[in-house]
Structure 1
Amino acid sequence: MKKGDMKLATYTRTLMALGVISAGAVVNAEESAVPLLTGVASTTLSGYVDTSAIWLPGPGGANNLPGRSFDGADKQNGFNLNVVSLALEKPLDETDWAAGYRVQLLFGPDANTLGSLSSLGTASGDFAVKNAYVALRAPVGSGLTLKVGVWDTIMGYEVFESGNNPNYSRSYGYFIEPIIHTGVLASYDFTEWLSVSAGVADGGGLNSINFRSGVDSVLSYVGSIVLTAPEECGWISGGKLYLGAMDSGIQGAKDMVNWFAGLTIPTPVEGLSVGAAYDYRANGLFDSSYENATGLYVVYQATDKCQLSGRAEYATGSAGAYGYTGPEAVQLLGLTGTVACQIWDHTLSRLEVRWDHDLNSRGEFLNGNANNAFSVALNVIYQF
């Protein structure tokens, strides 16, 4: 699975094998080529099947789990099909005027949670479009690349594809970020250590495709800067600093605005890397509301097939943030530990333990019966 260009990927290992679809069986060599079919020869097919089993002990189940994305109450205490992903892609080649595309389709419960159906859709039906864009390169300087259509957000430390994250469950910061946009994204590498992206998309900051706010002038504007430490920086070389911002247009009297900063760096200890992320969203719930989340990450590649990951989080926000039901400001604490192994070919197996704590002591977890939620998850993903 190929991630968005500006997402953090240093902590992950690609497990997939890409298959090439040949056009030879479709197009007769003696006939003149049909332009649509000549592009199929370089198209790749990839995807994954993501499953889980989660146990969250406590009285009455877990009807409220503030800050959880794609592993909420509906997946606790049982076995789950999370999502099936299928992607067709023709990557850009090295020519000046290269063109390509990517289409990624989702099937299963997580497709419903993403909720990307356009305004013409009448039901979720366990289906969603996550990517559907045309990729273009223009010979401007070192090469300006464009994505036109539906593309992954360029903000955030973690991504939708859980197998590309250090941990199975997503962070509090992920909860307040967008996932996809419909619009145009431009990216340019000024040097080996400086990359910039900027895009304009439908307004609202929502994941719905072709979303219309009812106000023609409302659009979303998103941008990011990535700084990479060069080789002469020694053991810190390859470390990255990510900065991102998005204005999603008017939600009430004020625009909804997201800010993101992320850092990932290697350490002098072989196989050990650390990271940090900060997310802030203003006016996302109502005018003058706020949500912010800080996460610290530690990843240790113990062997070629085994990785240990830890995450510590602290999140605050206005009343109602992160799905919190209490009338006062939110304070949440989270600790997550994950062991990931590749025992079988193309298969990622993970065991995760997570603890969430309501710092307001309102008993926000387990149907209002507890200040803590302790869960154990098994995640198995086959990638092809």
Structure 2
Amino acid sequence: MKFNKWTLGLAAVGAVSLASAAQAEEKSSTVMTALSSTVLSGYVDTSMQWNIGTGDSHAPAYKYGGSTKADGFNLNAVKVTLEKPLDEAEWAAGYKADLFFGPDANLFPFGLGTSSSGVAISDFAIKQAYVALRAPVGNGLDFKVGVFDSIIGYESTEAGNNPNFTRSWGHTFEPSTQTGVLSTYRINNNVALAAGIANTESAIINSRAFPTVNPLTSGNKAESYKTYMGSIALTAPDNWGFISGSSLYGGVINGFNNAQQANQTSLYVGTTVATPVQGLRVGASYDYEGISQQSDAGGTTPSAYANAVALYTSFQATEKLSLHVRGEYATMSKSLASGFQANNFGVASEMLALTGTVQYDLWKNVISRLEIRWDHALDGSTAFGGTGTPLLNSDTPPGLASTGNRRNSYIIAANVIYKF
């Protein structure tokens, strides 16, 4: 082994031994080898938003939306990812850690956070943190052990991975993340399966469906009660003409939701289809959330539901320019909608939404887009607008909240994201 001149000089005066230096050099090499395979990535997500009209206390409460984003400049989120992807080895191992910072971390997912205490108290959340493993079973059976993203949904938490900047109502209803074990297996290039088991359906890390010291992270189930999930993904073969590469996906998650303190079933079906027109793709999604009636010492949680249908169209006009349109129809139980409205969230029991986005990637590594969104309350309620003080937390004095005063909400937003 070769040593640098400073090590040899220290050894000559007895400050260090060559044996210890060799051992230290070997440990350093091992650490550097591990670090060299780790990938650092992430993004900084910013936006500017104008809610047309006076009054924002009931701004549409789609995920990562609401009154706090209205009529101003926003830092949405900063994500930092450390990852060692699985290699081609039969017994491959790796890891991934998604660290989520900024105002959106307090809303991930939808105001509950992933904190193991069940309370979002800072602009930080662990979005994912899992060990990745592969076992040589068939084509390779992959596992995620830890905290991982939900297996269902057309859209992602990462705005830059979605066709539109603002999130859909369907994405708002979906679970965000679970703590457990998820296995995936690709039968061939056209069929992939996933199945998993988790503590609960809610995102609170290390939460339980049975009684624990912290009631915010536990329910009233037996200790063996868990959450189960499964999905299937189908991809059209290359020899299917223009439709090749199109996909059909379906998934289900069933378990205990700590936020609702009740059993919940989440269903999702989505498809993305290529067309004969170059650069044009269309998609569709259906989301359903069903909450069963639940009785415990604190009372009875009534049954409730929410579902949403969305249609997507994306057109890649040039290398830099793309156009995206999303239309939505969403409904939910009136009791669920009333609960949102009582806390000054812009939600109606029946809604229609239309979103148009123009994206032009002028700078390298930068996503820049302009978006117009319209939300309409179909149930006749004035779910949007309002000029009072929003009830954002329990410290807000009573009587300051307004009611909505409009059936329509119009939003113009600009979104700039740097991805590294």
TM-score (norm 1): 0.87
- What is the SS of the residue equivalent to 1:235? helix
Superposed counterparts of 1:178-327, under 5 Å? 178-203=175-200, 205-213=201-209, 214=211, 215=221, 216-249=223-256, 255-283=263-291, 286-321=301-336, 324-325=340-341
> Which range moved further: 274-283 or 315-324?
315-324
Asked if the contact 1:117–1:124 (Cα under 8 Å) also holds between the matched residues in 2, the reply is no
Offset of 1:118 from its aligned partner? Answer: 3.1
- Counterpart in the other structure of 1:378: 414
Offset of 1:63 from its aligned partner? Answer: 1.5
> Which range moved further: 349-358 or 279-288?
279-288
Asked if the contact 1:261–1:278 (Cα under 8 Å) also holds between the matched residues in 2, the reply is yes
Taking the aligned partners of 2:180 and 2:44, their CA distance within structure 1 comes to 28
- Counterpart in the other structure of 2:356: 337
Asked if the contact 2:348–2:383 (Cα under 8 Å) also holds between the matched residues in 1, the reply is no
- Counterpart in the other structure of 1:3: none
- Counterpart in the other structure of 2:84: 90
Offset of 1:317 from its aligned partner? Answer: 1.0
Asked if the contact 2:114–2:127 (Cα under 8 Å) also holds between the matched residues in 1, the reply is no
Taking the aligned partners of 1:137 and 1:380, their CA distance within structure 2 comes to 37
Describe the shift of the 1:29–1:342 C-alpha distance in structure 2 as closer, same or farther (beyond 3 A). Answer: farther
Listed one character per residue, the Cα deviations across residues 249-300 of structure 1 (whole Å, up to 9, x for unaligned) are: 3778962101100010110000000000000111179443111100000000
Listed one character per residue, the Cα deviations across residues 207-228 of structure 1 (whole Å, up to 9, x for unaligned) are: 2111123232232111110000
User: Letter of the aligned partner of 1:87 in structure 2?
Assistant: T
Question: Do structure 1's residue 101 and structure 2's residue 98 form an aligned pair?
Answer: no
- Counterpart in the other structure of 2:71: 77
Describe the shift of the 1:31–1:121 C-alpha distance in structure 2 as closer, same or farther (beyond 3 A). Answer: farther
Describe the shift of the 1:363–1:250 C-alpha distance in structure 2 as closer, same or farther (beyond 3 A). Answer: closer
Describe the shift of the 1:272–1:180 C-alpha distance in structure 2 as closer, same or farther (beyond 3 A). Answer: same
- What is the SS of the residue equivalent to 1:32? helix
> Which range moved further: 253-262 or 140-149?
253-262
User: Letter of the aligned partner of 1:102 in structure 2?
Assistant: K
Offset of 1:90 from its aligned partner? Answer: 0.4
- Counterpart in the other structure of 1:346: 365
TM-score (norm 2): 0.80
In the TM superposition, structure 1's runs of 4+ consecutive aligned residues that sit over 6 Å from their partners are 27-30, 250-254
The percentage of aligned residue pairs carrying the same residue is 47
Listed one character per residue, the Cα deviations across residues 61-111 of structure 1 (whole Å, up to 9, x for unaligned) are: 221234411021110000000001111000000000000000111111001
Offset of 1:40 from its aligned partner? Answer: 1.3
Taking the aligned partners of 1:250 and 1:128, their CA distance within structure 2 comes to 19
Bigger radius of gyration among the two: 2
Offset of 1:119 from its aligned partner? Answer: 2.8
**Which runs of no fewer than 5 residues in structure 2 stay unpaired?**
1-20, 212-220, 294-300, 387-403
